[in-house]
A and B are shown apart, each in its own frame.
Chain A
Amino acid sequence: MSTAETSAGPGRRLRLPFSPWHLVLVPLTLVLVAPLLWMVLTSLQTAAEANKFPPVLIPHHWRFANYVDAWHTAPFGTFFLNSALVTLVVVVSNLVVCSLAGYAFARVRFLGRKALFLTLMATLMVPFQVTMIPVFLIVKWFGDNVWSYLGINHLGALMLPNLATAFGIFFLRQFFQTVPVELEDAARVDGTSRIGVLFKIVLPLSMPAMSTLAALTILTSWNDFLWPLIVITSQDQMTVPLGLSYFQGAHSTDWPLLMAGNVMSLLPMLLVFVVAQRYFVQSVAGTGLKG
Chain B
Amino acid sequence: MAEATVAQEGRRPGALRRLGRSESLTGWSLVGPGALLIGVFGLLPVLMSLKLSFQRSDLLTPDTPWVGTKNYRQLADDPRFADAIQHTIVYTALFVPGTMVVGLLVAAAMNRSVRFISVYRTAAYVTMAVSTISEGIIFLWLTDQDYGLVNAALNKVGISSQPFLSSPSQALYVIVAMTIWGWTGFAVIVYLAALQGVPVELHEAAAIDGASPFTRFRTITLPLLSPASLFLVVWLTINALQLFDEVWLTTKGGPLHATTVIVYYLWDQAFVQFNAGYAAAMAYALFVVIVLVTAVQFRLARKHVHYS
Chain A interface (Cβ within 8 Å of chain B)? 18-19, 21-22, 24-25, 28-29, 32-33, 35-36, 38-39, 42, 50-55, 97-98, 100-101, 103-105, 108-113, 115-116, 119-120, 123, 125-138, 160-166, 169, 194-195, 219, 222-223, 225-226, 229-230, 240-242, 244-245, 248, 252, 255, 258-259, 262, 265-266, 269-270, 272-274, 277, 280-281, 284-285, 288-289, 291
For A125, list chain B residues within 8 Å (CB).
290-291, 294
The reply to whether B131 and A133 form a contact with Cβ atoms under 8 Å apart is no
29 A-B pairs within 8 Å (CB atoms) are namely A25-B109, A25-B117, A28-B120, A36-B130, A54-B155, A54-B156, A97-B34, A110-B19, A110-B27, A110-B28, A115-B8, A116-B31, A119-B43, A130-B283, A130-B287, A131-B42, A133-B280, A134-B52, A162-B41, A164-B33, A166-B38, A169-B34, A194-B30, A241-B134, A244-B134, A259-B137, A265-B133, A269-B129, A288-B193
CB distance from B124 to the nearest CB of A (A): 6
Interface of A is mostly: helix
Contact (Cβ within 8 A) A137 B130: no
B286 touches A133 (CB 8 A): no
> For residue B193, which residue of chain A has the nearest CB?
A285
Residue from B116, B149, B151, B248 whose CB has the most chain A CB atoms within 10 Å: B149
- Nearest-neighbour CB distance to chain B for A45, whole angstroms, equals 11
Contact status B126-A223, CB under 8 Å: no
Contact A28 B109 (CB under 8 A): yes
- CB-based contact B23/A129 at 8 Å: no
Contact of B106 among A28, A104, A133 (CB under 8 A): A28
**Which residues of B11-37 are within 8 A (CB) of A?**
15-16, 18-19, 23-28, 30-31, 33-35, 37
Find chain A residues with CB under 8 A from B114 CB: 18-19, 21-22, 25
Q: B168: shortest Cβ distance to chain A, in Å? A: 20
Taking A109-B23, A138-B41, A274-B126 as known contacts, 13 extra A-B pairs with beta carbons closer than 8 A to each other, sorted by chain A number, are A35-B138, A109-B19, A111-B15, A119-B43, A130-B286, A133-B59, A134-B45, A135-B45, A164-B38, A195-B30, A281-B189, A285-B190, A289-B193
Shortest C-beta distance, A261 to chain B (Å), equals 9
Q: Are B231 and A289 in contact (CB under 8 A)?
A: yes
Tell me if B242 and A127 are in contact (CB < 8 A): yes
| Chain B residues in 8 Å Cβ range of A169 | 34, 38
CB nearest to B2 among chain A residues: A112
Partner-A contacts on B (CB < 8 A): 1-2, 4-6, 8-9, 15-16, 18-19, 23-28, 30-31, 33-35, 37-38, 40-46, 48-49, 52, 59, 106, 109-110, 112, 114-117, 120, 122-135, 137-142, 144, 146-149, 151-152, 155-156, 181, 184, 186, 189-190, 192-194, 197, 227-228, 231-232, 235, 238, 241-242, 244-245, 248-249, 263, 266-267, 270-271, 276, 279-280, 283-284, 286-287, 290-291, 294
A116 to chain B, nearest CB (A): 6
- Minimum CB–CB distance from B136 to chain A (whole Å) comes to 8
Which residues of B have CB within 8 Å of A128? 242
Contact of A280 with B125 in the complex, beta carbons under 8 Å: yes
Closest to B197 in A: A289
Partner of A52, one of B131, B147, B155: B147
Residue ID in chain A nearest B155 by CB atoms: A54
Q: Is A129's CB under 8 angstroms from B193's CB?
A: no
> Which of chain B's residues have a CB closer than 8 A to the CB of A161?
41
Q: Is the CB of B5 within 8 A of A115?
A: yes
Which residues on the A side are within 8 Å of B276 (C-beta)? 133
How far is the CB of A27 from the nearest CB of chain B, in Å?
10
On chain A, the residues within 8 Å of B140 by CB distance are 248, 252
Closest B residue to A255 by CB, please name it. B141
Query: How far, in Å, is A177 (CB) from chain B's closest CB?
Result: 15
